[in-house]
Every structure is written in C-alpha cells, then in structure tokens.
C-alpha cells in the first residue's frame, strides 16, 4: 500500500503536506483499510469462514471489515454497543455487505464476543476475531509500514517533514508510527492529537501497543527512548468522542472549501483543528508539516447536515 503525499498549501506560515490515507483504493480507504488489508492477509493464509469484530454503527473499521469479508463470501458478525446504534452511512454499508450486527449494552460487549466465538466454534465454524479498530500488533505493523513510506518519500524527494500530525484514537496508528520512527532511527517529530482519551490513560494505551509490537518483533529500546518518541496531546478533545464543536465544524468547512478535502468531526477534523491550534500556540513558523489524513470519508457525509 502506497498512498500519495501532496502539498496542499501554507497554514500558519508553514508549508503543509498531507498523506492521503483516505485515498487507499478500497471501500473509502482510511487507516482501518490499511490495517484490515493486513488482517485479511492472515485470514487468507488460515482456514476461517467467519470474521467477528466489534464497533459502533459509526465505525469505519466495521465497514471495511464487513466489505472484505463479503468479497470473500465469509460471514461477518459485528458486536456493537446499544448506546451508539443510530443509522449512519457506515452502518448502511455494513447492512449492504450482509454483516450480522448484534447490539448489546456496552458493559456486555466483552462477554458477548466470547460467547459468540464459543457458539460459532461449537457449531463447527472457524471464526477469526479482529479487535475493535483493528487493534493489535497487525494493526500496529500497518502503521510501521506507513511510516516507512513517509521516510521513503523523503529520501526520494529530498524533502524533510519537521512535524507529523494525525488523529490518535485506540492507539495502533500512533504506536505503529512511533515504532517506525524509532526503528528508522529518526528524531522525534510525531504529534498524536487525541480524539477522546485523556492522559495518562490515552498515552499509556499507545505505549502498551508500542511495547507489545517491539516485544513480538525482537526490538529492545529503552524506556527513556520510547517516552521521548511518544507525544500524545489531549488538549484538543473538545467535548469528547464524537461530539460536535464549532471550532472543528469551521475547520471542516474551511478545508473542504479551500482544498477540496473532506474531514470529519470525530477524527480528522479534530486532529486538523488541533494541529492548527498547536502551531499557533507554540509560535511555529516555516516548518514543514505533514498531516496524515486517516480517512473516515463516510463520516463526512454524516456530518454534512450538522456542520
Ligand atoms: C479509527 C480512526 C482513527 C484513529 O485510529 P487509531 O488507530 O484507533 O488510533 C483516526 N481517524 C479515523 C478516520 C479513524 O477511523
């Protein structure tokens, strides 16, 4: 997977580039597509007939997984929280792909997943479970590869990005980028904008994914090195996960009008707005900036009548 890096314009006196993960050519792309492509490589090597995963009706991850399962004629079962099950473009696509969706109260999700997997196995089925959001070392690996693409772009063009911004949620996108940066021996320059979690929890979740990836792949970096490489900012969460915010809405309208690029209010709009605030608050000028557009295009359409 190789996504384009494009120069989009100057913001706060900084030349701004964007890595278009939203243009991964599968099911509206996004970081969940990059992760799912790797999960399905493993699924295709094994003997599975059902994919089970977790996510709400807004989930980009569930849409992509349901699409890949349908293309293989595999059954896809999605366990979702009752609290977030309103109809969205993603949930309509999950239905289009024939995914079986079970919603339960959020505190019953864990047990329901275990029970579903046990029932499937008892019935002679061969389920493969993907954690919500494509969490786990495979998801992290997808973003180690993404970082490598950025480094290769820099080598081949002679450009160098001083700072790299992106939305940080369940942690594997962020963790993979940090692992890629450290493996490549590059100086710290990644800034993850939290879209929901506060510190220290948000940061710790990313840290756990980093530790797990390094342990599984035989790397041993010191605690201090990892801490230095891990920047997780919780200053731009606004009112929390999935909530609307005037500053974010106005950034979404601006980026669509100015650059013709859709952002959404849950992830990329929040991260883009956080990036602009960070540059301004820290008086950063003339530095070359890369924003990683992590996708979520169907959410842009959900947002369209709210922003
Ligand atoms: C899930 C998601 C994120 C966050 O990715 P994590 O790996 O969970 O941190 C960012 N942007 C979009 C559009 C997403 O769907």
| CB-ligand 1 contact for 56 (6 Å cutoff) | no
Q: Which of 84, 165, 268, 295 best tests ligand 1's pocket when mutated (most atoms within 8 Å of CB)?
A: 295
Summarize pLDDT for 164-220 with one digit per residue, the tens: 999 999 889 999 999 999 999 999 999 999 999 999 999 999 999 999 999 999 999
Topology alike, domains 5-30+136-303 and 49-125: yes
| CB-ligand 1 contact for 135 (6 Å cutoff) | no
Distance separating alpha carbons of residues 230 and 107, to the nearest angstrom? 30
Tell me if the pTM is above 0.85. Answer: yes
Summarize pLDDT for 11-33 with one digit per residue, the tens: 999 999 999 999 999 999 999 99
Distance separating alpha carbons of residues 77 and 277, to the nearest angstrom? 40
| Burial of residue 111, with CB atoms counted within 10 A of its CB: 0-12 exposed, 13-18 middle, 19 or more buried | exposed
| CB-ligand 1 contact for 31 (6 Å cutoff) | yes
Report domain extents, the chain: 5-30+136-303, 49-125
Q: Tell me which fold the domain 5-30+136-303 belongs to.
A: Rossmann fold (3.40.50)
- Residue 6: which H helix or E strand, with range? strand 5-11
For ligand 1, atom 9, the nearest C-alpha belongs to: 169
| CB-ligand 1 contact for 269 (6 Å cutoff) | no
For ligand 1, atom 7, the nearest C-alpha belongs to: 173
Q: Which CATH class is domain 49-125?
A: alpha beta
SS3 content of the chain, % helix, strand, coil (to 5): 50, 15, 35
């Amino acid at each position: 997977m190789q996504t384009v890096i494009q120069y989009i314009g100057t913001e706060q006196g900084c030349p701004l580039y964007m890595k278009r993960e939203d243009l991964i050519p599968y099911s509206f792309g996004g970081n969940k597509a990059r992760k799912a492509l790797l999960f399905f490589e493993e699924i295709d090597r094994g003997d599975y007939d059902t994919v089970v995963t977790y996510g709400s009706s807004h989930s980009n991850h569930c849409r992509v997984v349901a699409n890949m399962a349908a293309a293989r004629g595999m059954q896809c079962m999605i366990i979702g929280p009752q609290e977030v099950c309103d109809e969205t473009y993603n949930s309509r696509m999950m239905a289009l792909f024939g995914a079986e969706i079970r919603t339960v109260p959020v505190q019953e999700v864990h047990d329901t997943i275990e029970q579903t997997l046990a029932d499937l196995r008892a019935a002679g089925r061969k389920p493969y479970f993907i954690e919500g959001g494509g969490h786990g070392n495979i998801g992290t690996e997808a973003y180690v590869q993404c970082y490598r693409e950025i480094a290769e772009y820099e080598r081949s063009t002679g450009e160098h990005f001083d700072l790299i911004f992106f939305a940080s949620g369940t942690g594997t996108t962020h963790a993979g980028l940090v692992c890629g940066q450290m493996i490549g021996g590059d100086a710290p320059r990644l800034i993850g904008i939290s879209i929901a979690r506060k510190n220290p929890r948000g940061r710790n979740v990313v840290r756990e994914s980093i530790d797990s990836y390094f342990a599984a792949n035989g790397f041993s970096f010191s605690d201090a090195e990892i801490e230095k490489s891990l920047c997780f900012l919780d200053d731009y969460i606004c009112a929390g996960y999935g909530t609307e915010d005037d500053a974010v809405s106005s950034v979404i309208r601006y980026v669509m009008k100015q650059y013709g690029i859709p952002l959404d209010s849950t992830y990329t709009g929040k991260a883009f707005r956080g990036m602009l605030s960070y540059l301004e608050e820290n008086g950063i000028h003339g530095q070359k900036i890369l924003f990683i557009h992590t996708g979520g295009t169907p959410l842009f359409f959900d947002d369209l009548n709210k922003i």
